[in-house]
Structure 1
Amino acid sequence: MAVINDLIDRISDPELRRRINDEVVRLQQQKKFGLVFEEHLPEATPLYDVPINVKSLVARKDGYFKEFFRVKRIEGNVLFCEREDDSHEQVELQKNEAVAVALFGEPIYPYLKPMDAVKNAPDSDLWHTLIEADNYHALQLLVYLYGGMVDCIYIDPPYNTGAKDWKYNNDYVESTDSYRHSKWLSMIKKRLLLAKQLLNPNDSVLIVTIDEKEYLRLGCLLEELFPEADIQMITSVIMPSGSSRTGRFGRADEYIFFCFIGESKVTPWKTDMLRDAPESNVPVRWNGLIRNGEGSRRSRIPSLFYPILLDKNTGKLVSIEDPIPPTMMVEEYLVPEGLVAMWPIDKAGNELMWRLYPPTLREYFRLGYAKLGKRDKKSGYRPISYLQSGMIDKIKAGQIRIIGKDKEGALELEYVEGGKSYAPLTVWNRVSHSAAEHGSGILKKILLKRHFPFPKSVYAVEDSLRFVVANKPNALIVDFFAGSGTTLQAVNLLNAEDGGHRRCIMVTNNEVSEAEAKSLRKQGYQPGDEEWEKYGIARYVNWPRTVCSIEGHDINGHLLKGNYLGIDIPMQDGFKANAKFFKLGFLDKNSVAAYRQFRELLSLLWMKAGAIGECPTLKGKEIPEYLILTENKMAILTEEWAYAKFMDEMKDRQDIKTVFLVVDSEIGFREMAAPLKWAKTYQLYKDYLENFTINYEK
């Protein structure tokens, strides 16, 4: 910095010198330590549903939205534009070759356009959702809908390898771009900042998969964005045969970051993840009674220092005595004739403590939860072990079977089949996680010749989720890099296994593959054309997979063959689940404020109310003065003058959990919402407009 300051001092123009100095100071204050990268801007999303007007920001449909133009005037089908850069070049574009765009960080007013639905559980109110959208704007919407409410986010973001099979998955920037790592970080940071607002700050987990291209930078970024989280990185073998690297080690694994937030924790499972099946004849673990290690000295808890008396000749337990006074020496304790006193003293002579208080230990011996070990011939001591509370709980739950008692009354135990559970290790090596067999293989079984590169094994995703939501049967799970739709299939599989009611929200864009894009352009099609869009990820891969896996058939309607691994669930049975497919669209702010967009916003209100029951639709052109939607557990007052009639019908309607009130005045809203104490209430359209007027670039 001394050199820069010296150069600044040489600037003769005082105003220029001051401005440059101020800018350097600002840059110095931004980041001094940690991960430093360029905050590349802008990214943009096409607004195919938004008409192009004077002052609209547009881009060419056939590009990757790197060049932007401001419309100055329109004559027929010709747009007279000015390039949005320092050149201000005047450019003419044909209307049909341009699309309105929104730069990331600009206010947007989203809605959800229904595209399709699959219903295989008519008696269930559980509805998953797929949103076709650029995930940045979809995340803005999800923050409005579920801020601080999400239990788990699982994402498999672009690995930045430069592959061009599907640009969305890998090729965010060109492989030759000298800023490729910086641009990737800028892209992922924007989305993680929004993801953080989604997660429950008291108990939630963010899961991010990555490979060797960006794992170091991603790790640093996660540390920076989630300083409050406990972060672990898992090594997961996904290609046992290995992927060759010329002149380097073949690669068989990738990495999974787990960011544990608040009280979240890992749930043990039947394997430690280093093997495919639990070990046979695993002995039930008894814990040693003597405590050792830091903080185990007698002086810390004197009441855990007491003698245990054994018969000197037979070695049998005689009694468990009360603690001796803290000032009393062991040598001062009078041992009755014919007995041996055992103390919690290690081989070095350090006075430690037992792990259980005398009354508890006496009860454990009575119940068979504590036992004596082999007798030391020299000292007469016998080590004591006991069952920790977790093991006792497993006995009560039937996971551990009592097969008898030894001659001194201690329980003899064994695990029932599948009863043993392990704390999973940080290296996962399971055949079921192979991406070739259980990622591409399962996708091919469903979609036949439709191609999607490198889908995750459905079992690898299921295991990742199980460890953090096994004890949350109603968890809300989000995947905003959903790709081929593995996460939803994994959630359905997990629900089928344990009877859960977990809900999954997927977000993916509708990019077509590189090869398909070339072919479509030769035929004269452009992004936004129906013939183009039907080959995109969301419509050509994710949604067909979602429908087929739920209904149990392939895309030609033939029943799927085989069972899901490890469980007796035939694939042809599908899943008792429902799913709704939406496309993210954008509304005009003034039209929303004028109450002219209720029909478009109804799906969004359904989502905000918890996506309970089938998404409602309006029949006819008229908007009802109010709606009480029992199946959806929500109600909407659309006309303020109908409030009295609305409240007459809302009396004792404790089944309605969410209420939307269309009212201009905030004071009026508070007065109208006051009687609805049992429900969550929202003011329309103020709540919606204020949320999306905020610039999310923060």
Structure 2
Amino acid sequence: MARIDDLLSQARALDPALGRELAAAIKERTSFGLVFEDHLPEAVEMPMVPVQEGSFVRILPPRGSTTQPEPDVYEVVEVSDDEFLLTPENQGADTDEAGGEVIETVTASRKDVVAVARYKDTVYPGLCLDGQVDTEDTKEPVHAVINAENSHALRMLGFTHRESVDTIYIDPPYNTGSNSWIYNDRYVSGDDSFRHSKWLSFMDRRLTLARDLLKETGVIVVAIGDDEHHRLRMLMDKVFGEHNFISSVVWQGGRKNNARFISNGADYMLAYAKNLSTWSKPGVPLKEAPSVSTIRADEIQERGAKWRVPKPGVDNVLAQGRKAWEEAGGDEEKATALMRAWFKSLPGDAPEKKMARNIYFLPDGALARDGDISAPGGNGFRYDVLHPVTNLPVPAPSRGWRSTEDGMRQMIAEGRILFREDHTDPISEKRPLEGVTGQVALSVFDRQRTHGTRHLHYPQNDSGVFPDARFPYPKDHTVLMEWLDLMTPRDGVILDFFGGSGSTMEAVLRLNEENATSERTCILVTNNELNHKDAQQLRKDGLRPGDPQWEEHGVYRHVTKPRIETILTGTRVDGTPYTNPTAGRVNFFTLTYEAPAAIQHDLAFAKVAPALWLKAGSRGEVITEIPDHGWAATDTYAVLRDTDQTAAFLDNLKDRPDLRHVFVITDSQATFRQVNDHLPPGVASTRLYEDYLTTFKIAND
């Protein structure tokens, strides 16, 4: 360190502030494990935001040029009718011969600059409703698609969904070196010597924001390829803790016959928990913990939970059990004989054969199997259980009984204990097949990845969502359905902030339709970027981001939104019918950037309103305006603007049993507390706009 210390001393002598910053940066560097250059945070271009004095901007290349924008950022120091006077961001303080300060300036035309938000800038997001689809006879919830730069959307979700998300699934850029992703508004190519550290910086910031959105029982799954798999796992160890690692799932997507050595056709899904220990309940054996897909989110810590996939053929066995019980007229012995005969008639390789122990019946006709009744781990209860015919004790397990003596009597009375012919054989418990229909998922599975592409566009029979090819390599929504169902409680909130073509949203919509108990909510964030090839062509044609012709080719406008609209309405973008629609309710939003003063003075309520709806659980309608009487309410949330009307407001809330959240617009903490103290039990509250503004200030610190 002597060399570094010497250089730091020289830096402090020249510029004390710079010396301190360098020392702090060196101290933060990791000397082992995952080491990468922490690149300067991205600056996001915002072509729809007006530029004014004090704004930070970039200078755009001339129209018709295919050159990528330079990353340099400038501050607007003077505004004229046609031009801006700019000064480079963070320029050093130079002096002239007389000791006066010299400021470098650049002049740029109004039409050749674009506003930017640097990562370190505090942004105050709003949401503009950009459409909604509501099919008939649709149950709650309402899902949300947000068109936004995802780092800004994650900050907004820090206000609406902090510690409220059950499952995050993302499919980020794989960083293959093929100009497939953008860093700092520039496509990153394979010859960029810093592409790996740029990608890690990009992911580190977003994963850190995402971690704070997860519940303690929440999980995150990140899809990735060979290029960054090993680096991503180390990064996720850093962000989530290696002790919270769940699995590295391998998706074998097909064979590459042109490979010289090995067909590397696999993708991966890295799965981590926020807090793995919350999935275990002391005193509850793993085999007795319910599958998470069958319970509500708040039951995970109460009961413990596990991930299980349905056993192949289980539906056929259950159906045959119902048929046998009906044919036997409720006679258990006859129904059992019918089940034995049915299992025996099946082909040897039938998956149902593996469930041939499910031949017993409970008194209510539920098909059951015989299960162990001894205490797991030993130290069970000790007492005699008498055989109902011989009246002699049956063999007691060496580990003792799992149930108390009273519990055993109750199970015998309910017909849940299986006695053999006499007392010399051990007894077992009848366990309903309905409760043990799952099996552990494997960490490797095969599924052709071409299914996702054909689902969006299949020209052979014109059966796709789109009549033309619009998106390369979309994820197969049927695979996502299986995995999201496996790891998410039935009322869980699912977030995808690399939403791409919208496969995650379609997966959740179809899960809810196919499973009567599923009430999962999806929030999908995608941007409106173009792929590199299309962007180059449009730049050559003289277009820029923000131009209507440019924006209509972005992924949100051209793929995500029309895909979701098509599968819900049954009508494709060209007016032809789509033959495999589903049901659901989806609101589409575009993220906006609001002035904090406008928010503080209640001049931007319409833009803040959708965020309040999201925070309240995204149920029902969005309150977009407040009537003259000073407050508004839906079944699930309410907003009070005129605190002089508090009495009438509170009186109205008494008839809203599903109310979840109340927002109070007031500068007075005392007034807010007074309203809060009189809210119905269990209703959350938020003060506007102090809590809203503070959230984004904290998120950026």
TM-score range, shorter chain: 0.7 to 0.9
Query: Partner residue of 1:219?
Result: 233
| SS of residue paired to 2:598 | helix
Whole-Å separation in 1 of the counterparts to 2:135 and 2:474: 25
Q: Residues 683-694 of structure 1 correspond to what in structure 2 (within 5 A)?
A: 683-694=687-698
Amino acid at match of 2:443: T
Q: 5+ residue gaps in structure 1?
A: 311-315, 323-342, 345-352, 374-380, 400-418, 562-570
Query: Partner residue of 1:281?
Result: 353
1:95 partnered with 2:110: yes
Whole-Å separation in 2 of the counterparts to 1:642 and 1:617: 19
Whole-Å separation in 1 of the counterparts to 2:14 and 2:562: 62
Amino acid at match of 1:179: F
Displacement of 1:460: 1.2
Q: Residues 35-46 of structure 1 correspond to what in structure 2 (within 5 A)?
A: 35-46=34-45
For residue 493 of structure 2, the aligned residue among 472, 476, 479 is: 476
Whole-Å separation in 2 of the counterparts to 1:72 and 1:11: 33
C-alpha distance after superposition, 1:639-669 (max 9, x if no partner):
3333344344445444433222111111121
Query: Partner residue of 1:34?
Result: 33
1:551 partnered with 2:569: yes
Displacement of 1:207: 1.1
Q: Residues 65-84 of structure 1 correspond to what in structure 2 (within 5 A)?
A: 66-84=71-89
Whole-Å separation in 2 of the counterparts to 1:664 and 1:11: 50
Change (3 A) 1:420 1:132: same
Q: Residues 253-652 of structure 1 correspond to what in structure 2 (within 5 A)?
A: 253-260=266-273, 261=275, 262-263=278-279, 265-271=305-311, 279-282=351-354, 283-284=356-357, 301=379, 319-320=393-394, 353=399, 356=402, 369=417, 386-387=428-429, 392-395=430-433, 397=434, 420-429=437-446, 433-444=447-458, 445-469=464-488, 472-499=489-516, 500-561=518-579, 571=580, 574-618=581-625, 624-631=628-635, 633-652=636-655
Whole-Å separation in 1 of the counterparts to 2:385 and 2:684: 60
Amino acid at match of 1:640: T
Displacement of 1:199: 0.6
Query: Partner residue of 2:668?
Result: 665
Whole-Å separation in 2 of the counterparts to 1:121 and 1:683: 35
Asked if the contact 2:175–2:181 (Cα under 8 Å) also holds between the matched residues in 1, the reply is no
Displacement of 1:534: 1.0
Q: Structure 1 length as normaliser, TM-score?
A: 0.76
| SS of residue paired to 1:121 | coil
CA RMSD between the two structures? 3.8
Query: Partner residue of 2:287?
Result: none
Displacement of 1:448: 2.2
1:696 partnered with 2:695: no
Change (3 A) 1:21 1:220: same
Q: Which moved more, 1:83-92 or 1:609-618?
A: 83-92
Change (3 A) 1:210 1:580: same
Change (3 A) 1:21 1:587: closer
Asked if the contact 1:130–1:582 (Cα under 8 Å) also holds between the matched residues in 2, the reply is yes
Asked if the contact 1:173–1:184 (Cα under 8 Å) also holds between the matched residues in 2, the reply is no
Displacement of 1:267: 3.0
Displacement of 1:549: 1.1
Whole-Å separation in 1 of the counterparts to 2:623 and 2:628: 13
Amino acid at match of 2:472: P
Q: Structure 2 length as normaliser, TM-score?
A: 0.76
Whole-Å separation in 1 of the counterparts to 2:351 and 2:248: 22
Change (3 A) 1:163 1:361: same
Whole-Å separation in 1 of the counterparts to 2:643 and 2:409: 70
Amino acid at match of 2:475: K
Whole-Å separation in 2 of the counterparts to 1:608 and 1:117: 18
Whole-Å separation in 2 of the counterparts to 1:12 and 1:242: 54
Asked if the contact 2:375–2:402 (Cα under 8 Å) also holds between the matched residues in 1, the reply is no
Displacement of 1:518: 2.1
C-alpha distance after superposition, 1:380-429 (max 9, x if no partner):
x9995845xxxx4424x4x7xxxxxxxxxxxxxxxxxxx84311111122
Displacement of 1:240: 2.0
Whole-Å separation in 2 of the counterparts to 1:161 and 1:243: 20
Q: Which moved more, 1:609-618 or 1:209-218?
A: 609-618
Displacement of 1:602: 1.9
Whole-Å separation in 1 of the counterparts to 2:11 and 2:156: 50
Asked if the contact 2:381–2:402 (Cα under 8 Å) also holds between the matched residues in 1, the reply is no
Whole-Å separation in 1 of the counterparts to 2:239 and 2:557: 33
Amino acid at match of 2:238: E
Change (3 A) 1:244 1:673: farther
Whole-Å separation in 1 of the counterparts to 2:17 and 2:116: 37
Whole-Å separation in 2 of the counterparts to 1:215 and 1:605: 37
Amino acid at match of 2:481: E
Give the count of matched residue pairs.
Answer: 600
Q: 5+ residue gaps in structure 2?
A: 62-67, 93-102, 280-299, 314-348, 358-368, 459-463
Asked if the contact 2:380–2:401 (Cα under 8 Å) also holds between the matched residues in 1, the reply is no
Q: Which moved more, 1:635-644 or 1:205-214?
A: 635-644
Asked if the contact 2:374–2:380 (Cα under 8 Å) also holds between the matched residues in 1, the reply is no
Asked if the contact 2:181–2:188 (Cα under 8 Å) also holds between the matched residues in 1, the reply is no
Q: Residues 227-266 of structure 1 correspond to what in structure 2 (within 5 A)?
A: 227=241, 230-242=244-256, 244-245=258-259, 247-260=260-273, 261=275, 262-263=278-279, 265-266=305-306
Amino acid at match of 1:94: S
Amino acid at match of 1:495: N
C-alpha distance after superposition, 1:561-580 (max 9, x if no partner):
4xxxxxxxxx1xx2221111
